[in-house]
């Protein structure tokens, strides 16, 4: 579940709320109890980088890294030229 940031237009109070994607946005400010709460646009709290968890976490047996296999083949053929 994502964490959303909210700011009250009446009192300026800011807070975060853990909500489902399908949940309706909050409108009542917990500080002043006015229906002036607006969802802020903010960056995600994490960043995905690298080859991906699916490449390394669930492999078993003789399964090869697909990305690594593709990168090594063209390099080997161009090195011989």
- Does the pLDDT value for residue 75 go beyond 70? no
- Report the domain count for the chain: 1
**51, part of any domain:** no
- pTM (2 decimals)? 0.53
**56, part of any domain:** no
Q: Give the Cα separation of 12 and 8 in Å (integer).
A: 5
Residues 31-73 pLDDT 10s: 999 999 999 987 766 666 666 665 555 556 666 555 555 554 4
Task: Name the residue range of residue 8's domain.
Answer: 3-39
Q: What is the model's pLDDT at position 30? A: 94
**50, part of any domain:** no
**49, part of any domain:** no
Angle formed at CA 21 by CA 6 and CA 25, multiple of 5 degrees: 35
Q: Is 78 or 60 the better-scoring residue by pLDDT? A: 60
**55, part of any domain:** no
């Amino acid at each position: 579940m994502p964490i959303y940031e909210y700011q009250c237009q009446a009192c300026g109070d800011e807070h975060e709320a853990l909500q489902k994607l399908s949940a309706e946005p909050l409108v009542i400010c917990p500080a002043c109890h006015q229906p002036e709460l607006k969802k802020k646009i903010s960056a995600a709290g994490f960043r995905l980088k690298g080859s991906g968890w699916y490449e390394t976490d669930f492999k078993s047996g003789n399964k090869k890294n697909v990305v690594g296999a593709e990168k090594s083949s063209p390099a080997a053929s161009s090195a011989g030229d």
